[in-house]
Amino acid sequence: MMEIKILSGANSIGGNFVRIEDGDKTIIFDQGIRFDIMSRFYSGFIAPRGVAELRNIGALPKPEWYEGANGIYISHMHLDHLGALSNIPQETKVKLPSMAVYEDMEEKWVASPTWLSLIPRKYYVELDELKPLQTDENNVMAVPVSHSAFPAYALIYFGKNENVLYTGDFRIESFLDRDLFREINGSDDLLTFLEENKDIKLDFMIIEGTNIGSDRIPITPVEATKIVKKLTKNRKQIVATLHSLDVEYAYMLASIAEEMKMQVVVASTQLAKLLEKIPNMPSKPQVIDEYVDYLTPFEKTTIANVKEKTLILVSYREIVDLIKDLNMAGSLSKDCLAIISEPEPQIEEGSEYTVITNWFSTMGIESYRIRASGHYYQYKLKTILDKVKPRKDVKVIHTEKPKLFFKILGKN
Binding site for Zn ion (CB under 5 A): 14, 78, 80, 169
* Spatial separation of the C-alpha atoms in residues 206 and 9, rounded to whole Å: 11
Among residues 142 and 287, whose Cβ is nearest to Zn ion? 142
Our CB check for Zn ion shows the closer of 36 and 80 to be 80
> Residue 397: exposed, middle, or buried by beta-carbon count in 10 A (0-12, 13-18, 19+)?
buried
* Residue with Cβ nearer Zn ion (87 or 210): 210
* Complex with Zn ion: residue 12 or 301, whichever CB lies closer: 12
Q: Cβ 18 to Zn ion, closest distance in Å?
A: 13
Contact 240, 311 (CB under 8 A): yes
| Of residues 121 and 243, the one with the C-beta less far from Zn ion | 243
Whichever of 185 and 263 has its CB closer to Zn ion, that residue is 185
Q: How far apart are CA 6 and CA 373, in angstroms?
A: 24
Q: Report the run of H or E that residue 276 belongs to, with start and end.
A: helix 269-276
Q: Closest separation between CB of residue 16 and Zn ion, Å?
A: 7
Residues 138, 27 contacting (CB under 8 angstroms): yes
Give the Cα separation of 162 and 35 in Å (integer). Answer: 33
Secondary structure of 96-119 as H, E, C letters = ECCHHHHHHHHHHHHCCCCHHHHC
N-terminal to C-terminal alpha carbon distance within the chain: 24
Closest of 381, 402, 391 to residue 159, by C-alpha: 391
Judged by CB, which is closer to Zn ion: 211, or 269?
Answer: 211
Nearer to Zn ion, 36 or 169 (CB): 169
Instruction: Dump strand ranges (E) for 258-406.
Output: 263-266, 286-288, 299-301, 310-314, 336-341, 366-370, 393-397
Residue 79 Cβ vs Zn ion, minimum distance, rounded to whole Å: 9
Q: Where are the alpha helices (DSSP H) in 22-98?
A: 35-41, 51-56, 79-82
Please provide residue 178's backbone torsions phi and psi, each rounded to the nearest 5 degrees.
-60, -45
Taking the C-alpha atoms of residue 298 and residue 301, their distance in angstroms, rounded to an integer, is 10
- In the complex with Zn ion, the residue whose CB is nearer, 170 or 291, is 170
CA dihedral in degrees (56, 57, 63, 69; nearest 10)?
180
